[in-house]
Structure 1
């Protein structure tokens, strides 16, 4: 067991387990990667929405980061909910795609529509963290905030992905198409365009899809996969997580982190024949 791969998630919580750090750690485990976590915000939320948020003191977040890096250096890092400028400026000192793959899930608004990022933080994530990212994984509302224009169709998605890479400085970006009508198409850009298209499943159980998708990418990058391969595996995994809902919760239910097992397939994700409403 000397070659254990480990990944770090830096994010907020979800006490009902469908999103945030809890979803990330479940996903790392399913991908056979040892998961570590640094808590940024304690969030009182469930499938119906966010009730309260408590941001941890910045010095305590730094102590958590130091505790990890002084003992077990991660093979890949992802960030989710980073609500304040101070959090982002701190994280920027720990990440560099040249040394450790870094995935940004730019969590700005919850599935239920609650704002999770301060207005002042939006410019900082664009200017400070996105240029350090191996891959950025925004949904359409998040991509609109990052690039500053409305996204109405696939051409707009292509334009947004290109801006995130060529103007904002990320190594690659995947703009997720779950908010548009029709077939669920994600646009991945790494100086070349790649399209991940599947048929849509109409479901309300999409809580935590963005966290889970980006966590798979992080786990696969930690294993040494290429970014394109990691994104494809993320797409496959989240498709099965949506295809086999757990049917729990009174609102937007969580995805099924062991959905891929119901396909009878090895732990490499499912197939591409169904939907991915990744948010």
Structure 2
């Protein structure tokens, strides 16, 4: 009976993933929760007040962030989530490469493996009926404090990654980290998503919003001055060509930015403003 329930839930999640909104196929790339405009404004006000009260130190050397990589699996097959150390290393190396010049680098401390079919099958983003399983997995396995990055790989179907923002650490420290779909790594055979989603999610973990946050050509959006206004996310399948969803505002859509939804082929950069924001967020909430 237990296995049939797991299979049913897995099938339901898979169908939801395939249908997407309006019954159309889609890849829901990122499951990181977007705060409401009011929540975003209030959080930013708190952050700016913290910066005035305690200015962040100058960047001299890269901050080295320790990483614990948790491979959660149902069985010792690839379909069951059992990815190799080489595949983990490839994903980690892509993460390090993406953050070059940002003021941050990463050190892989340990790869931990957790044989738990329930965790692998039922940990999902934004799925209240199984949220207690997500919390159970992370409370039992998470290592370190606010400066330590924990990455979990699971079999989720509704997204391929999600993260917890740095300002949420004090209220939800046991779930702090990044959760990834297990098969997102370099040379996975996917032309669109081959590992850079991890860079994107760690960007959230360090305090970045999407470049299209708020889906508006006006307002503060991602609170980064040098990312052009962007009214909607770039479609994953639309290529790397120029587009402009806010033609009355300066600049083109940041198709090459890690915090957009472009195909991984397109994603190559953080702006200086994003690097500054990550530095300030880290020093305020994690250091």
Using structure 1 for the length normalisation, give the TM-score: 0.30
| Structure showing greater Rg | 2
Task: Give the structure with the higher percent strand.
Answer: 1
